[in-house]
Amino acid sequence: MKVCGVELQGNEAIICILSKADGLFEVSTCRVQRFVVADSYDNEQMKNFQFSFIKLMQDYQVERVVIRQREMKGKFAGGAVGFKLEAVLQVADGLMVEIMPNSARKESLKAQPLHIPFKETGLKQFQEPAFTTAFAYLNSPY
């Protein structure tokens, strides 16, 4: 199964495409590591974000998009723009999108920890939350 882990931070959607076959993981080299929406009030930018994201998922034959859940209130609450980006992805035609709760993510990582240092994945440091979300999802009984 090939999944795309997504971490939403401010006006960015940071991604990591990861697959698992026969118990082996493979990090896909991807032409895009993040999508940035400069003005979330601009309909065209939001439509372009959705179109670009869908096209990338089709090009890499991603079966499922897994978004790391963010808090709605409190100290670590996500911002309004991030929730708009999340909604745009959730309603996108042709995408199977799931929101992975932090508790499920932590539980999965505890049961099946990553056996190599993150630096050896070849990904950028800012992609680590997206990677761990995808890794946890592929190891969970979801």
**Which residues, 6 or more positions from 110, have their beta carbon under 8 angstroms from its beta carbon?**
none
pLDDT band with cut points at 50, 70 and 90 for residue 115: confident
Q: What percent of the chain has pLDDT over 70?
A: 95
Q: Go through 18-53 and write b for each residue having 16 or more CB atoms within 10 A of its CB, e for each that does not.
A: bbbeeeebebeebeeeebebeebeeeeebeebbeeb
Q: Among candidates 79, 60, 82, which has minimal Cα distance to 8?
A: 82
At residue 76, the pLDDT reads 66
Residues 93-109: what's their mean pLDDT?
Answer: 92
What domains, with CATH codes, occur in the chain? 2-139 (3.30.420.10)
Cβ neighbours, 10 Å, residue 142: 12
Distance of alpha carbon 17 from its chain centroid, rounded? Answer: 8
pLDDT in tens, 37-81: 999 999 999 999 999 999 999 999 999 999 999 877 777 666 788
Rounded to two decimals, the pTM is 0.91
Q: What is the pLDDT of residue 141?
A: 66
Distance from C-alpha of 55 to C-alpha of 69, rounded to nearest angstrom: 23
Pairing of strands 12-21, 24-27: antiparallel
**How far is the C-alpha of 69 from the C-alpha of 102, rounded, in Å?**
6
pLDDT for 116 equals 83
> Phi/psi zone of residue 47: left (φ > 0), alpha (ψ -120 to 50 degrees), beta?
alpha
Tokens linked to 115: 């056996």
